[in-house]
Amino acid sequence: MRIAVPNKGRLHEPTLDLLERAGLHVEETAERQLYADTVDPDVSILYARAADIPEYVRDGAADLGVTGLDQASESGGVVESADLADDGDLVDLLNLGYGNCRLVLAAPEAGDITDVADLAGKTVATEFPNVTRNYFDSVGVDPEIVTVTGATELTPHVDMADAIVDITSTGTTLQVNRLAVIDEVLASSVRLFARPDVAADAKVQEVRTAFQSVIDAEGKRYLMLNAPKDRLDEVKDVIPGLGGPTVMDVEETEEGEETVAVHVVVDEAEVFSTITDLKDVGASGILVTEIERLVE
């Protein structure tokens, strides 16, 4: 099975990091290589431009692709299930949670365009003509769509367009160019995509589960402690865990006190206050560790 991943840019390193944490170490041998093996003999990596990855998957050059929802939506249809797929659609298997951005409709702050309806018969410049056309069709407005390949935010100021549809992460570039957001066209992040004919394959689902386990472990910590058995209910009351804790008997102390070991997964943000509460109810030997993967 081949997974297409971004070959450079802001999505490259986070994607390789995800593969590593998911247990799919990539065996890179040289810079600018097109293919790479992984520690799994059944999985290899194809490096490609983020914008080209959807087409690689659709054409069968890759079985899975890691790229932004914006790129996949621009190149064709995206569905949540293989059962809903038409010819050329991709199945959105998993939101990987990074590369977050928005495609927005924006126009000059001091201009006459303040609403989507104001763009009827006007001109809109964008690097995403298909997404933009679908958006305007959905709101019942028919502007002229002009495709550009860069510096989209400049087009309203040089009389090339009345408005733009462009990517923004923080909104800073729009503010610098005195453009105001009128509407959000698409909220995007990096996703794991598959062709409908392979989406249910066992190996595809194995990769999806591996990625999901990394995502589920984000912001979680594994908490281990000892506690007096007769205070176990108090310990349980102060642990904000994922489900009930695992409780195991341990040997009696020299004083004859029965002790239990308690293991539980907690949110990282709650660790500080939880440790204080646990000590107040008699817990000891408290150990906190990071979690690389969490399979629920």
- Predicted pLDDT of residue 241: 64
Instruction: Using the predicted structure, report yes or no on whether residue 249 has a pLDDT greater than 90.
Output: no
Q: What is the pLDDT of residues 229-245, one digit of tens each?
A: 999 999 999 887 666 78
- Predicted pLDDT of residue 77: 92
Transcribe 18-83 into DSSP letters. HHHHTT--EE--STT-SEEEESSTT-EEEEE-TTTHHHHHHHTS-SEEEEEHHHHHHHS-EESSGG
Q: Which amino acid is at 111?
A: G
Other Cβ atoms closer than 10 A to 72: 25
Q: What is the pLDDT of residues 79-137, one digit of tens each?
A: 999 888 888 899 999 999 999 999 999 999 989 999 999 999 999 999 999 999 999 99
Instruction: Using the predicted structure, report yes or no on whether residue 207 has a pLDDT greater than 70.
Output: yes
CB 143 within 8 A of CB 136: yes
| Fold: same for 101-188 and 220-290 | no
- Predicted pLDDT of residue 92: 97
If pLDDT is split at 50, 70 and 90, which confidence band does 201 have?
very high
Transcribe 209-228 into DSSP letters. HHHHHHHHHTTEEEEEEEEE
If pLDDT is split at 50, 70 and 90, which confidence band does 291 have?
very high
| Torsion angle (degrees, nearest 10) of CA 113, 119, 123, 126 | 80
Q: How many CA atoms lie within 13 A of 22 on its CB side?
A: 22
Question: Which token pair is 232?
Answer: 């176990």
Q: Which of 28-37, 57-66, 167-176 has the lowest mean pLDDT?
A: 28-37
Q: Which residues pair with 249 in a beta bridge?
A: 260
Q: Candidates 3.20.20.220, 3.30.70.120, 3.40.50.12280, 3.40.50.1000; correct CATH number of 220-290?
A: 3.30.70.120
Q: Which is the CATH superfamily of the domain at 2-97+189-217?
A: Periplasmic binding protein-like II (3.40.190.10)
If pLDDT is split at 50, 70 and 90, which confidence band does 169 have?
confident
Please report, for the chain, the start and end positions of each structural domain, with discontinuous segments joined by +. Answer: 2-97+189-217, 101-188, 220-290
- Predicted pLDDT of residue 211: 98
Is the domain defined by 101-188 classed in CATH 1.10.10.10?
Answer: no
Across the chain, mean pLDDT equals 93
